[in-house]
Every structure is written in structure tokens, then in C-alpha cells.
Amino acid sequence: MPLHPSSGDGGFSVIDPHAVDPAYGTWADIDRLAAQHAWMADAVVNHLSASSDWFCRFLAGEAPYDGYFATLDPGTDTSAVVRPRTSPLRHSFTRRDGSSIDVWTTFSADQVDLDYHSPEALLAMTEASLDLVGHGAAALRLDAIAFAWKDAATTSMSLPQTHALVRFWRACLEQVAPGLLLITETNVAHP
């Protein structure tokens, strides 16, 4: 399970990917654990909580957060998109200026999907993953990775761009933690 503060979904609605939920201790506690045991971190890379600071700043239109989350124009045909849940694929949110924006929500209204078309979003999640490795994670489980690249005209599942993301993270992480296990996880599609 993710060790970060969360607003729900069993910890998978991560509020801050750079923090440890106080219920689990502190980074110092994680460091002590890593000194005695190999541990695997759950890196939630597809989405963040709608309560996260990153998403609040996105809604405020602050750079670089204004490009961090995947949006959908109203009326976009998403019938080809494979779904792991039965909740709507998009939810409407109100921006600071009062306008509304539809955001891609693969799992729930509280889990807003990141947009890896944005180099800044990619860098931010890479840094969050490096935090986990820097605190001794011997393995990273990339939660819901198959859904990380969004393209409404496709299934948006395990696209070539998603595989490129995994290769990119593997190359980055290998530089700081040779031998790190990178484990990809995907929920099966809802029938």
C-alpha cells in the first residue's frame, strides 16, 4: 500500500507523493526499516488525489501545475477506452476563475489522472519515485501503470508511450539504485 497521505481508496488517492502519512511514521522510520529489511514501495504514478496541492494549483492555473493533469474536451468520444472501474471516465471541476474543466479520472472522482504529455509532470513524478528509492526502497511497484498514457481515440491501456515511460523510469532509477526491482501493476478491465 502507498505510504503517503491519502484522501481515500485504501491509500491510493495520494495527496502528497513526497510525504509519509503520519499514521505510518516518518521518513526516518522508513530509513530505519530500510537499514534492516528490503522493502517495496508503492508508487502511484497514474493519478493523485483531487485534494492534492498539485491539483489545487492546477485548478488555480499555476505553472507548471497547469499542465500536470489530463483533460478531456466535452463531447470527446471515449468509447474505445478500456476501463478498470464503472465510474465515469471524466469529472468536471471548477477552476479558481469559476470556469469548469473536465479531467480524466480513470478510477474515481477523487483520483485525477496525470498528463505525461507534460515534461514537468513527468519530472515531478520521477522525483517522487526517487524519494522512495532515496529512502531505501529495493523495489518500486508502479500502480496502475498501464493507464498512464491517455489517448481517447485508443484503449489507453498499455500504449507504446506507457512502455516508454517505464523504460525512462528504469533508466533514471538504475542510475541511483542499480538492481532496483521495478514491478508494473495493472487492474484488469471491467467486463
Summarize pLDDT for 150-169 with one digit per residue, the tens: 999 999 999 999 999 999 99
3-state secondary structure 5-33: CECCHHHCCECCCCCCCHHHCCHHHHHHH
Q: Distance between CA 45 and CA 39 in Å, rounded?
A: 18
User: How much is the pLDDT for 189?
Assistant: 58
Give DSSP secondary structure letters for 33-60: HHHHS-EEEEEE-SEEETTSHHHHHHHT
User: How much is the pLDDT for 187?
Assistant: 67
What are phi and psi for residue 167, nearest 5 degrees?
A: -65, -40
Q: Which of 42, 110, 113, 143 is catalytic?
A: 143
Whether the CB-CB separation of 91 and 102 falls below 8 Å is answered with yes
> What average pLDDT does this structure show over 118-135?
96
User: How much is the pLDDT for 1?
Assistant: 80
- In the residue annotation, 143 being an active-site residue is answered as yes
Question: Peptide bond before 64: cis, by omega within 30 degrees of 0?
Answer: yes
pTM for the model: 0.93
> What average pLDDT does this structure show over 134-161?
95
pLDDT band at 55 (very low <50, low <70, confident <90, very high): very high
User: How much is the pLDDT for 188?
Assistant: 65
> What average pLDDT does this structure show over 85-101?
94
